[in-house]
Structure 1
């Protein structure tokens, strides 16, 4: 029998995150891998991708190098049909869907397994995506109970459960999951992914090995984005502005592939038309972009903040993050807009984002008010 220390482990991923992977590979090689790991970091930087690599490595049965990608364990880890290997947030309607065993023969209704498989297929196809789950979805106590009920069917094989976006567990689910961690079945491992582990119960955090995943370099973001897009990808599609807005997250890059040009253009118009007091044209443009939802309005304001910060960077001689958009802006026409004005403008945008999030006023009213107040005293 081959000793565990003869087995080589290799977790794949970007170079920027190699230090974290080395830590995990050392634990695997030394046969001291914890039964629960929590991976935290900025959305869209590959936490689910690393979780799947860990799952393959733990379930692999190759005697020399793991994960091999060929054995039954590796294939199970990557199989979208293995829905019991995942827990993730669902909407109330999705969570209440019937199981396959409860659906009548010939029914075309989507079962809970169908819904989960659909999500897993999307994650496997592109683990960087940040828009897979509904904003109102959560991990309920029933989903945790359903996970626990499958343990009796595990047999003697190694079992790995990935709890994606675990910081979206509600209170009841968190308490139920904590009880599971207190009595983890043999050869069972949990890998949790979260945007911030501070959102987890302290008692859950204390039972997990914490791994903080680093953001990627701009070059890595472009490389990973093009790799996920496939062989037909157009390199020019991943523009300099897309990379700048992504802030080290391929997941954000995928969002901005479709939205950067429109959002940056609107942000540029917002600044210029506000400075020119051309409010009627600006209000009309805002209405055309239909920024009525909180997430959409604040998503635009994030880009606006980015652009204002870029103007400040340019004035100080620093490199800008949105070179394509900045190339089309002539801020020399507004000499009074200095560093103080820009810093005040950034604070005003932040205040507006908080007002929109509070829902005390409509998003459109807040944006129109911002247009009037932006650079107040400097126009």
Structure 2
């Protein structure tokens, strides 16, 4: 079995940013490979050192700050067979009490490569039909999870199941998973990853040990990029654009074309203010069709729009030093001058709501039409 999309034989490779962090786990990011997450890492190390790891963890925090990476690192630590010293102490005589992954033993390498039999990720399955809406994580996936976790670990000491994003479990899936949490199987650790814990049942949240991951500082992101060989000017720009989302910064540093696509999304965001109602409705239809084919692409587009109009709002408030898209400050000033501040603030909130509605399987075209009709209009239009 592999970690990746829940599939008992095959699954996709881990996200590039996760691999980047896991492979570069020394230095400023620490042994665990996380930037700016010292508190969460310390809590896990204390639990591992005392042999009191929880049967279920809830990793909560903004998108792209390292939640999935931390889940993988925990899986490595639980199954690590390394005999290297830990924190300067003598070699650990009891592998089950290791407080960090060694990165060198066979289990650590297999987990990092996504080929360990006892580490799986349950995630949103791709729609088989082009026009099928995303329906989140299904109850059938949870039933399969129950079957597999009833078995003893095959390769390691612990079976680790990562549910990411956990908030994508639909109501039936959450109710089924709750029963598993109420009577957790032995030698199994569940790790739920979410950027919106409010969408999880309170009874699920109460049965998990909650660890909050915070947004790293821009300075920490820049330092990490410099450590990984990104040149100074580009590292500063990506750190500001990332707004602390270290995963995004690392991914863009590795693939410059992503920054170009983001630029196209920001240009579209700025063009909304001058569009007529008819043009907005036409755009809504096209985006809804795109969502049915590639939901993640539209969610990324909406994220870029949110960042753009939030920057416009910051400029309107007279706090230009706080904008993320520093390379587009003249365009931000243009939109700040031509749009009403209350409309901009309302649209930023509407963008957040639209992402939530899409996650709850609302009709994509209706969501996009409602959203675009709320977009700011330039004064006098």
Q: Under TM normalisation by the shorter chain, which class is it?
A: 0.5 to 0.7
Paired with 1:11 and 1:68, the residues of 2 have a C-alpha distance of 8
Check the 8 A contact 1:215/1:248 in 2, yes or no: yes
Trace 1:293-308 onto structure 2 (pairs within 5 A). 293=290, 300=301, 303-308=304-309
TM superposition shift of 1:360: 8.8
Secondary structure in 2 matching 1:38: strand
Check the 8 A contact 2:243/2:324 in 1, yes or no: no
Q: Alpha-carbon deviations, 1:52-92, whole Å to 9, x = none?
A: 11111111234543422233443443342225421312437
**TM-score if structure 2 supplies the norm length?**
0.65
Q: CA RMSD in A?
A: 4.2
- Are residues 1:70 and 2:70 paired? no
Flag the 1:375–1:18 CA change in 2: closer, same or farther, 3 A.
Answer: same
Trace 1:86-235 onto structure 2 (pairs within 5 A). 86-91=120-125, 135-149=134-148, 151-154=150-153, 157-165=156-164, 166-222=166-222
Indicate the larger mover: 348-357 or 304-313: 348-357
Secondary structure in 2 matching 1:78: helix
TM superposition shift of 1:15: 4.2
Gaps of 5+ in 2: 1-29, 87-99, 253-257
Gaps of 5+ in 1: 1-9, 95-133
Check the 8 A contact 1:158/1:187 in 2, yes or no: yes
Flag the 1:208–1:290 CA change in 2: closer, same or farther, 3 A.
Answer: same
Match of 1:5?
Answer: none
Secondary structure in 2 matching 1:86: strand
Indicate the larger mover: 188-197 or 45-54: 188-197
TM superposition shift of 1:46: 0.8
Check the 8 A contact 2:137/2:173 in 1, yes or no: no
TM superposition shift of 1:342: 1.4
Check the 8 A contact 1:352/1:366 in 2, yes or no: no
Match of 1:129?
Answer: none
Check the 8 A contact 2:215/2:244 in 1, yes or no: yes
Paired with 1:54 and 1:315, the residues of 2 have a C-alpha distance of 43
- Are residues 1:259 and 2:279 paired? no
Flag the 1:11–1:197 CA change in 2: closer, same or farther, 3 A.
Answer: farther
- Are residues 1:324 and 2:320 paired? no
Match of 1:32?
Answer: 52
Check the 8 A contact 2:136/2:170 in 1, yes or no: no
Paired with 1:52 and 1:59, the residues of 2 have a C-alpha distance of 11
Check the 8 A contact 2:61/2:67 in 1, yes or no: yes
Flag the 1:157–1:16 CA change in 2: closer, same or farther, 3 A.
Answer: closer
Check the 8 A contact 1:11/1:53 in 2, yes or no: no
Check the 8 A contact 1:283/1:368 in 2, yes or no: no
Corresponding residue pairs, total: 314
Flag the 1:189–1:317 CA change in 2: closer, same or farther, 3 A.
Answer: same
